[in-house]
Amino acid sequence: MNSTELCFLSVSRLAKLIEGKDISPVDLVTAYLARIELLEPRLNSFITVLSEQALDEARKAEKEIAAGRYRGPLHGIPMTAKDLFLSKGVRTTLGTRIYDTRVPDEDSTLIARLKEAGAILIGKANLNPLAYGEIAEEGHFDYGHMHNPWDPSLVSGGSSGGSGSATAAGEVGFALGSDTGGSVRIPCALCGIVGLKPTYGRLSRRGMTTLSWSLDSPGPMTRTVEDNALVMNAIAGFDPKDASSADMPVPDYTKALTGDVKGLRIGMPKEFFEVPVDPTVKETVLRAIEEMRALGATVHEVTWPLYHYYESISTILLLVEGAAAYRELVCTKGSGLYEPLRMRLEAGLFVSAADYIQAQQSRVLFNRQCNELFTKVDLLVGPSTPITATKIGSSDITIGDTVMGVTALHTQYLSPFNITGLPSLTLPCGFSAGLPVGLQIVGRAFDEQTVLRAAHAYEKATDWHLRRPSL
């Protein structure tokens, strides 16, 4: 097996090789570092690469495993984290030069849990400045554009774009991202990998820099559904140091991966196809839904009229909560911020309290109507994004007679589930003109198991996850 093949193996497969001492963590880190060195001039997935630190950790892991102290399936697996998760002794920039030299003295809860599981942090991934926004409206991000491994002239998606491109390109085994309006799921959909935004409160946010207190969620980004379940096993659980953390039982997510969807009731909101969507993307997603029907699920059209109001709700919440999170920064160092970002943060300072309260009141009705759908079905399915990856610098896209901003298009199926807080997963379900198309699967609150179960069954029946970019 050559080093490229090694870098594209799933975490579950790598774990078996490491546990059986067929490969060592040192071999694996060395292979990933070589791939990062080869690809970074084209992809720009990383802000910081931790070559020596990762090799040191790999040597420690190798000794532990040789001594019979194998910690589990993440032991010795290289990973990256979006550069807004605090990392002890490693700069955490939030994608802005303002924080270029900031070095935390502690790890975020999720990075600490992954280290405890034996994972090796190989670098910190690039992102949109402060994780606010999805594309570069103009100019360049502070650490440069992130490029899609299927075509480096295209966006990898934001704001967790570096995490998505690094995982899809075989630069790491898996990644951590954060999702406020789709920022885990957009890069995963556009880069052809699996991304899960768990239920709000399922994963600790301590040490993950806040953009929107009521919308933010961390999430794992992997090449397979099983890998996603393995990472969730390591990071899920209550954190008393996080006020938003839910004290709920945590299952073994891998036990949900039965490969069977028989009896599951799948809801397909008709409103998902009343908004602009590329015809090829629509056809690809509908074929995927038919595949799930063929596997034994039942498919039902459902209606969610308030879906059409998601943008009004989300925009106000994000403007206000983003401005609250970064008010001091804007007032003291605003001139150093990426200009479109600064303008959004300043705009949030002028939204009235009455508008914010009204958005929260509308959110209650929006969530109630969505939750009512789950009295009739077990899951909601539809496209992850209505378009595939676009050219870097593109701001508007025409679909039929409609012209829309790229960010609005990329978030139209994803942002609603930040409002509701429900678990939402994207996985590849086909290609359009050589670019990945994502299928979104949404479940009830704290029912990530059923979401993963359905996604795994579909993945087993297809081969989309086995395709990889020819970099």
Residue 275's identity, in one-letter code, is V
- The answer for residues whose C-beta is within 8 angstroms of residue 375's C-beta and 6 or more apart is none
In degrees to the nearest 10, what's the CA dihedral of 51, 53, 54, 57?
A: 160
Distance CA 139, CA 132 (A): 15
> 10, 108, 156, 159: which is the annotated catalytic residue?
159
163 is catalytic: no
Distance CA 103, CA 69 (A): 31
Q: Is beta strand 435-442 parallel, antiparallel or unpaired with respect to 424-432?
A: antiparallel
Reduce the secondary structure of the chain to three states and give it as a string: CCHHHHHCCCHHHHHHHHHCCCCCHHHHHHHHHHHHHHHHHHHCCEEEECHHHHHHHHHHHHHHHHCCCCCCCCCCCEEEEECCECECCECCCCCCHHHCCCCCCCCCHHHHHHHHCCCEEEEEECCCHHHCCCCCCCCCCCCCCCEECCEEEEECCCCCHHHHHHHHCCCCCEEEEEECCCCCHHHHHHHCCEEEECCCCCECCCCECCCCCCCCEEEEEECCHHHHHHHHHHHECCCCCCCCCCCCCCCCHHHHCCCCCCCCEEEEEHHHHCCCCCHHHHHHHHHHHHHHHHCCCEEEEECCHHHHHHHHHHHHHHHHHHHHHHHHHHHHHHHHCCHHHHHHHHHHCCCCHHHHHHHHHHHHHHHHHHHHHCCCCCEEEEECCCCCCCECCCCEEEECCEEEEHHHHHHCCCCHHHHHCCCEEEEEEEEECCEEEEEEEECCCCCHHHHHHHHHHHHHHCCHHHCCCCC
Among 24, 108, 183, 415, the active-site one is 183
Active site residue 335: no
Task: Name the pairing type of β-strands 194-197 and 424-432.
Answer: antiparallel
**Is residue 159 flagged as an active site residue?**
yes
Q: Which of 45, 82, 165, 212 is catalytic?
A: 82
Active site residues: 82, 159, 183
